[in-house]
């Protein structure tokens, strides 16, 4: 929902300011449209339906995984395509992976979005409308900005959307922003008043290998990125999640784990090892026993590590797979 348009429309209609709060409250609780907002006058509901689209996004396609994961293809007002994902867990969590940009400029070699051209940043309303789409279907408890795009390069809109996520039932402590290591954004997040979690997409502790996988490392070397993460921890006192996609024969050997353990302070970092499901990729995913052995090396060096339960692989909704094949159609 375009909340700025809502405000100006209500002002043009001579409505009191509390009307905007009423509309937003209904939307955040999962209302499907203005007609459900029974504490608004019927005539006003009709005016809003004509003048303020209930969502800035149009649903193009839904794809449901056998594990319950739901991926949605959405279209913006200028016909840009984005994807967002809802992952449901047996413990009751409903975790949403939000996109922050159309495409991505940072060209990480394992990431399908990185092979798309960057088009533009998403607005706060477009980011919120991804979460609201799922909120209309179910409760959501967690959000991670790990969809299409680099969130730290669109941080104003990401933070503006994040400020409203608690109204949907997602606290700041259950919101995380994932970054490839965009230091200006990490430093800005450090200074915010919201206790949002930080996740670092790392994937190699060797500078040359990391640059080969993630060209952004040439601009912001890993040593400098880790220093920014440590500044975040010193201010927020919140552990940083390290995301490490396991690529067969590339970054998954015991010496890679030794290198990773050597650069991570176990007080500050926890590692999530992510099985990789290749889709039109130059890489293959590591075997399960290889991932387990990698984890064992980290834990023997005192670094906490878990193997992520990967969801949505059968619908290309797993880590690094959001690419919007329809964008080229």
Helices (H), the chain: 3-12, 18-28, 42-51, 124-135, 155-164, 183-190, 207-213, 216-219, 222-236, 254-263, 288-300
Is position 243 annotated as part of the catalytic site? Answer: no
Q: Which of 36, 62, 83, 111 is catalytic?
A: 83
Give, rounded to a whole angstrom, the gap between the first and last alpha carbons of the chain: 27
Cα separation, 99 vs 147, whole angstroms: 4
Cα separation, 129 vs 133, whole angstroms: 6
Name, in order, each residue with C-beta under 8 angstroms of 195's C-beta and a sequence gap of 6 or more.
172, 173, 236, 238
Cα separation, 276 vs 270, whole angstroms: 19
- Dump strand ranges (E) for 15-162: 58-64, 70-75, 81-88, 94-97, 101-102, 120-121, 142-145
Cα separation, 264 vs 65, whole angstroms: 35
Is position 97 annotated as part of the catalytic site? Answer: no
Q: Which of 97, 108, 111, 319 is catalytic?
A: 319
Q: Do residues 152 and 179 lie in contact, with contact meaning Cβ atoms separated by under 8 Å?
A: yes
- CA-to-CA dists, residue 201 to 57, 134, 226, 257, angstroms: 28, 25, 11, 15
- 26, two tokens: 């209904």
Cα separation, 2 vs 125, whole angstroms: 5
Name, in order, each residue with C-beta under 8 angstroms of 11's C-beta and a sequence gap of 6 or more.
none
Give the active site residues: 83, 319
């Amino acid at each position: 929902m375009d909340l700025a348009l809502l405000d100006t429309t209500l002002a043009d209609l001579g409505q009191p300011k509390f009307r905007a709060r009423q509309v937003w409250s209904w939307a955040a609780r999962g209302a499907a449209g203005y007609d459900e907002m029974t504490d608004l006058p019927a005539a006003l509901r009709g005016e809003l339906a004509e003048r303020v689209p209930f969502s800035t996004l149009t649903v193009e396609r839904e794809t449901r995984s056998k594990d319950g994961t739901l991926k949605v293809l959405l279209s913006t007002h200028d016909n840009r395509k984005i994807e967002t994902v809802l992952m449901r867990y047996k413990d009751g969590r409903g975790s949403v992976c939000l996109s922050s940009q159309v495409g991505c400029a940072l060209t990480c070699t394992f990431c399908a979005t990185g092979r798309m051209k960057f088009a533009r940043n998403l607005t706060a309303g477009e980011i919120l409308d991804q979460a609201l789409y799922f909120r209309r279907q179910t409760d959501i408890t967690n959000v991670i900005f790990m969809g299409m795009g680099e969130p730290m390069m669109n941080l104003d809109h990401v933070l503006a959307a994040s400020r409203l996520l608690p109204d949907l039932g997602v606290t700041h402590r259950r919101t995380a922003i994932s970054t490839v290591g965009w230091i200006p954004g990490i430093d800005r997040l450090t200074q915010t008043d919201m206790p949002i979690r930080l996740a670092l997409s790392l994937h190699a502790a060797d500078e040359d290998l990391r640059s080969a996988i993630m060209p952004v490392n040439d601009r912001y070397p890993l040593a400098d990125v880790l220093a920014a993460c440590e500044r975040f921890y010193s201010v927020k006192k919140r552990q940083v999640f390290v995301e490490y996609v396991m690529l067969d024969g590339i970054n998954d050997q015991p010496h890679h784990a030794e290198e990773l353990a050597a650069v991570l302070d176990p007080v500050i970092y926890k590692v999530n090892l992510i099985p990789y499901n290749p889709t039109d990729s130059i890489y293959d995913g590591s075997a399960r026993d290889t991932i387990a052995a990698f984890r064992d090396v980290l834990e023997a060096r005192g670094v906490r590590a878990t193997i992520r339960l990967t969801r949505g692989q059968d619908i290309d909704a797993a880590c690094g797979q959001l690419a919007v094949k329809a964008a080229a159609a």
